[in-house]
Chain A
Amino acid sequence: MTEPRPAESRGGVSAGATPAAASTPLRSSALGRVGLWMLGQWGARIGMGWVLALLLMAVFAPVVASSHPYVWKVDGRVGSPWVEHLTAADVVLLGSFLVAVVLVLWRRASGAWRLQAWLWITAAITATAAARALPVLWAQRELGQLPLVFLMTAAMLLSLLFVLVVVPWWSSASVRAWSGTAAVGLVLCGAFWAADVRPPANIVYSAYREATAAEKVEWQLLPPLAYSPSDYQRDRMSAEGVDPRVLPPSLRHPFGTDESGADVLSRMIHASRIALAIGLIATGIAVLIGIVVGGLMGYFAGWVDLLGMRIVEVFSAIPVIFLLIMIVAFYGRNLYLMMVIIGITGWVGYATFIRAEFLKLRKMDFVQAAHACGTPLRSVLFRHMLPNGVTPVLVLASFGIAQAILIESTLSFLGLGLVEEPSWGQLLNQSRSAAGQWGLTIFPGLAIFLTVFAYNLVGEALRDALDPRVASSDDS
């Protein structure tokens, strides 16, 4: 417990936090102070760095690893197969990242406001993507599989709601700022709708290599890793006489290939999307349910609390892994169902935390004062009490994300996870039967380990930052 503090004082001071604090009076809330403190922690820096790297990997997966050339000139025509094969999810992720970069660079508005604007725009684009994709999927009768876009929309909207409730900046934004955000969002959504992003249904990855071999291509610009995650290199046997399956790491395939001949590194990069999504969505659902149930329990106390605690006990007795295996047996392999199940069984911890906080907060003077001002109950609960009691839940949530990633990996390893889409656990599962391909064991295993470790580091640093004893010794 005492170890990180000297490192913090050295790292934090040299990182330039102090000059900034000295020149401008720290006009920050409690959460802002926690954030500053965490930036000075090595553990938290490493953890957040890795999560950020994962995030970048998830956003830029098609840029880094794809069989489609960015641009090429074939038969005298210049074209971009890469752009043509972008999916709606790719465009949404890249677009919202671009908006984020623009907002980070645009320093005239407050940070809180920019975050909110970004959330609004992202949610709008995602909703547009979902609306655009829905009729197509409906026509293809694929709705039963709960498409990714649709679920991402739901998750985004839920997290948006969550953030709007948790982080309260309503009053600080002016009408002009709001209308500006709305205009930018509308333009982006309109452009997205008009572009009608829809990749071809059947993709023949070998066509690019065959065209190159036949010298039809005058010039081309390939991504750094020229293999898509589902590029099984079916042409390689006939072209080179090499079986592309379970090849050990080489210069061409840095992490080797898996048992269907796909590049492991490419699959791992694309799998970071699922690793992030399962953690965030499952935990997001759990936190939302936990906050609502725990908040009501803590605020009303009495028989509501009694009833709520019984429900909590029932839910905490459910063995999640067995339930998931059973669900897979009945409904087939479905990642999104998995997220929902992890979410609706995992809320008990958050509920008890929020309940304890609310039991304490409901007697506080500022809650009484809010009542005496005529504030409606929902506003008292979620605008006045929640921001004061949500911090322990954030700590628990970072551990919960790690937990959800582990559960998904476990299921995939048992062969109950995804089939077509890449996931780390599924790669690890293949390594059991792939003798000699050591890349299939080490790298996915390392990725799972590092990610879980990173989230745990962040959670631990958050916990330390919120510990009043650490905070007070930090002040002195």
Chain B
Amino acid sequence: MNQHADPKPLLQIKDLSVSFPGASGRRTQAADGVHLTLYPRQTLAVVGESGSGKSVSAMSILQLIPTPPGRYDKGEILWHADESSVDLLRRSEKQMQAIRGNQIAMIFQEPMTSLNPVYTIGQQIMEAVLLHQQVNQQQAVEIATSALRDVGIADPSSRLKEYPHQLSGGMRQRVMIAMALACQPELLLADEPTTALDVTIQAQILELLRKLQREKNMSILLITHDLGVVAENADVVAVMFAGRIVEYASVQDVFQRPMHPYTRGLLRSMPVLGRHVDRLDTVMDGATVPEDFPAGYSVAPHDPDPLRVGRYGGPNAKLHEVAPRHWVLCTAETDDAKKTATVPELAYRRASAIAVTS
């Protein structure tokens, strides 16, 4: 267990800001000082509503934001965050191509449209393999076949010759995962991988991702707005709103002791099975400041319009470690409190995950 005690982060996003041109010449801050740290074999869930900057942060890792119109304002993304680390934002397009799909792979939300309709799935998986690995055609076919077998597709060698429109949504998402994992990446960016699927398929896909994570020792950056998915899969949770991270803690801490009004509102608005209510709560209904919020910090009440106070939480709000291993976006009022504005780093992994790998 000792090697887990102080591992080196695999990926560290520091103070990342990405903006797009908005109405009346002002640039919209899609990501605003985002900090994320991901450790090997960890699952980090980024939760938030649409437009909160989840996908933008993830796509910045692979430099997939089109520039222009987008722009990386500041920040750095450290890959293999140790002495020999490299900043992914400063890498050339050619260097990025060697990383995309090979070391960091990505799967998308919409399995219906994320496979190219004119190629067979075999050709698409093999393209990724041939791009990054020194193998010949026959070996590529074998890798593609075993990749499909890994994601639980029956009769993979004949499936290879099928076109995407012949597969169901769940099958296509499995194919996407097979494509992403064919090159054995260290990090998988899963951008709402189950949003477009129905519930039973969703459970299967998540179970599959967990199994593959254990087998292949990879980290997952899971982007979702489904809190149920977070509770089941994540080790660490980052809650985002209006381009900023508002809360960052282990999955237990976030669900049992939510500190930020927005997180509290988010959790309150989750419908509970079996409880009859006339009207479901909205985020605003539950967005209350906790009574036991630590002294020395002041947290802004949740405001659905982040522009009213400049940026969300105001310009002085920073991520503070208000409780041990629990970061919240708030304003520090005492000098002692100001010292706790640190980059969140949490190597936590849930017990079940560690028990299997070690």
**Interfacial residues of chain A within 1-60, with CB under 8 A of chain B in the complex:** 25, 27-31
Interface segment out of the listed A66-74, A245-253, A370-378: A370-378
A369 B176 Cβ-Cβ under 8 A? yes
B71 interface residue, CB < 8 Å from A? no
CA distance A302 to B67 in the complex (A): 11
| A472 at the binding interface (Cβ < 8 Å) | no
A365 to B116, CA, bound (A): 9
Q: Which of B87-111 contact A (CB under 8 A)?
A: 93, 96-102, 105-106, 108-110
* Chain B residues with CB under 8 A of A387: 118
* Chain B residue total in the interface (Cβ 8 A): 43
Q: Which residues of B contact A334 (CB under 8 A)?
A: none
Q: Which residues of B contact A25 (CB under 8 A)?
A: 166
Segment among B126-134, B270-278, B327-335 that sits at the interface with chain A? B126-134
| Bound: A383/B128 CA distance, A | 13
Scan residues 57-116 of chain B and give those whose CB is less than 8 A from a CB of chain A: 62, 64, 68, 93, 96-102, 105-106, 108-110, 113-116
Residues in B neighbouring A238, C-beta threshold 8 A: none
Residues of B within 8 A of A373 (CB): 100-101, 105, 127-128, 131, 179
Question: Quick check: is B137 within 8 A (CB to CB) of the other chain?
Answer: yes
Q: State which of A78-86, A98-106, A169-177 sits at the interface with chain B.
A: A169-177
Inter-subunit contact B97/A369 (CB<8 Å): no
**Interchain nearest-CB distance for B188 vs A (Å):** 11
Given the known interface contacts A30-B118, A366-B116, the answer about A172 and B123 at a Cβ–Cβ threshold of 8 Å is yes
Which applies to chain A's interface (DSSP): helix, strand, loop or mixed? helix
B64 partner residues in chain A, CB cutoff 8 A: 368, 371-372
> In the complex, what distance in Å separates the CA atom of A369 from the CA atom of B109?
11
With A174-B137, A365-B113, A374-B131 as given contacts, are A302 and B68 in contact (CB-CB < 8 Å)? yes
Q: What residues of B have a CB within 8 angstroms of the CB of A31 in the complex?
A: 118
Number of contact residues on A: which range applies? 20 to 34
A374 touches B114 (CB 8 A): no
Neighbouring A residues of B123 by C-beta, 8 Å = 168, 171-172
B108 touches A365 (CB 8 A): yes
For the complex, is B293 an interface residue (Cβ under 8 Å from A)? Answer: no
- The verdict on B122 contacting chain A, using a C-beta distance below 8 Å, is yes
Cross-chain contact A372 with B137 (CB below 8 angstroms): no
Given A368-B64, A373-B127, are A384 and B102 also a contact pair (CB < 8 Å)?
no
A374's partner among B68, B100, B108 (CB-CB below 8 A) is B100
> With an 8 A cutoff between CB atoms, is B162 at the interface?
yes
A374 touches B127 (CB 8 A): no
Taking the closest CB of chain B, its distance from the CB of A300, in whole angstroms, is 9
Interface residues of A (CB under 8 A from B): 25, 27-31, 168, 171-172, 174-175, 302, 364-366, 368-377, 383-384, 387-388
What would be 20 A-B contacts, judged by CB atoms less than 8 Å apart? A168-B119, A171-B127, A175-B136, A175-B137, A365-B108, A365-B114, A366-B113, A366-B114, A366-B115, A366-B116, A368-B108, A369-B114, A369-B115, A369-B176, A371-B100, A372-B101, A373-B100, A374-B97, A374-B99, A375-B131
